[in-house]
Amino acid sequence: MIPRSHSSLQATWQQQLKQSAISASELVERLQLPVEMIGQLEKASSGFPLRVPDNFLQRIQPGNLSDPLLKQVLPDLAELEHFPGFSNDPLDEQHQSTPSGLLHKYPSRVLLVVTGACPVHCRYCFRRHFPYQQQQMGKQGIEKCLKYIEQHPEINEVILSGGDPLSAPDRLLSDISSRLDQIPHLKRLRIHSRFPVMIPDRINDSLLQWIGHSRLKPVMVLHINHANEINQDLTDACERLKRAGVLLLNQTVLLKGVNDSSEQLCQLSETLFNVSVQPYYLHLLDKVAGAGHFEVSQTNAINLMHQLLEKLPGFLVPKLVREVAGVTSKLPIDLNL
């Protein structure tokens, strides 16, 4: 059953964003966690601040430190430990952007970093050390990026990324979208966002207006790691996007203590199917410093994939992939290793 959340119908998405929990004491109070945790949460979040919107908090069982949704957003002292092989920029992205705000990692696709802001701070985020402030695009920055795209006919798809691109106002996104519309070699506009999960009211009329009127085929890649994230508000947001002609895909990060069992992954795929979202990628964790405690080994991931293949129809089995610095596409993991 899909649990119903109780997000305020009056508050706009911007107001909901402002009402997010951003301090250890707020999080402890709202989730009825032990007050003694406040000190350690503050220490653990010193390098990457805490941020969780209310709608997501409502899906977490109060007082349950093992809740798989809580684990994704709860600062942990393990973030301060050093894990061999983990670094601040595991995908070497800080040396790839040309011009500022644009990542041209794949020949036919570019990533446009519209904003560094996110509605949530996922503790395992591979961009937790990314210098977003240097990647913020002003008007001139956008012009430079659009010019670059115009001059590269091999690009057929633009991926709006961030941070979370839907943190940007619709006025800006609509302008970018209509400028991209006019570049003849482009075919698709892809948006990577956790907003439909975190603040489903972000999928409002003004967003649907520019997305639905683009000449480019719109694709939205959601980021959902556990079936408990899929509540009625998210279901309704997916329905609105679908009605606007948006193809909905999902990517999941395989995370220890969150979704590293075949039962949880099967339930996630089944629930995604119920809301018309196609399971797309299951990512091995990017080895970013501060996230080592979330790592699931490749061997265990392959075992899980074999179980998924037995339990699910093929179209509900996501592809197991990892990203490697300097490699121009995601690497599918060979399940026969």
Asked if 304 and 260 count as a contact pair (C-beta separation under 8 A), the reply is yes
Least spacing, CB of residue 304 vs ligand SF4, in Å: 21
Least spacing, CB of residue 182 vs ligand SF4, in Å: 28
Is-cis flag, bond preceding 99, omega within 30?
A: yes
Alpha helix ranges (H) inside the chain: 13-18, 24-31, 38-44, 54-57, 68-73, 132-135, 139-150, 170-181, 195-198, 205-212, 232-243, 262-274, 298-311
Bridge partners, 221 (sequence order): 192, 249
Taking the least distance from each CB to ligand SF4, the nearer of 162 and 318 is: 162
Place of tokens 């961009």: 127
Taking the least distance from each CB to ligand SF4, the nearer of 121 and 240 is: 121
Least spacing, CB of residue 105 vs ligand SF4, in Å: 16
Taking the least distance from each CB to ligand SF4, the nearer of 176 and 197 is: 197
Tokens of 225: 């790691």
Q: Among candidates 156, 159, 209, which has minimal Cα distance to 184? A: 156
Least spacing, CB of residue 286 vs ligand SF4, in Å: 10
145 annotated as ligand-binding: no
Least spacing, CB of residue 135 vs ligand SF4, in Å: 12
Least spacing, CB of residue 199 vs ligand SF4, in Å: 11
Taking the least distance from each CB to ligand SF4, the nearer of 237 and 312 is: 237
Tokens of 8: 């305020």
Least spacing, CB of residue 34 vs ligand SF4, in Å: 25
Taking the least distance from each CB to ligand SF4, the nearer of 145 and 255 is: 255
Taking the least distance from each CB to ligand SF4, the nearer of 122 and 249 is: 122
Q: Among candidates 62, 175, 56, which has minimal Cα distance to 119? A: 56
Taking the least distance from each CB to ligand SF4, the nearer of 45 and 183 is: 45
H helix or E strand, kind and range, residue 220: strand 217-223
> From CA 157, how far away is CA 136, in angstroms rounded?
21
Taking the least distance from each CB to ligand SF4, the nearer of 131 and 245 is: 131
> From CA 131, how far away is CA 97, in angstroms rounded?
12
Asked if 105 and 116 count as a contact pair (C-beta separation under 8 A), the reply is no
> From CA 100, how far away is CA 132, in angstroms rounded?
10
Tokens of 168: 């940007």
Q: Which residues bind ligand SF4 (CB under 6 A)?
A: 118, 120-122, 125, 127, 162-164, 194, 223
Query: In the chain, count of helices (H) and strands (E)?
Result: 13, 9
238 annotated as ligand-binding: no
Q: State whether residue 152 is helix, strand or coil.
A: coil
Least spacing, CB of residue 258 vs ligand SF4, in Å: 13
Residue ranges at the known binding site for [4Fe-4S] cluster = 118, 122, 125
Report the binding-site residues.
118, 122, 125
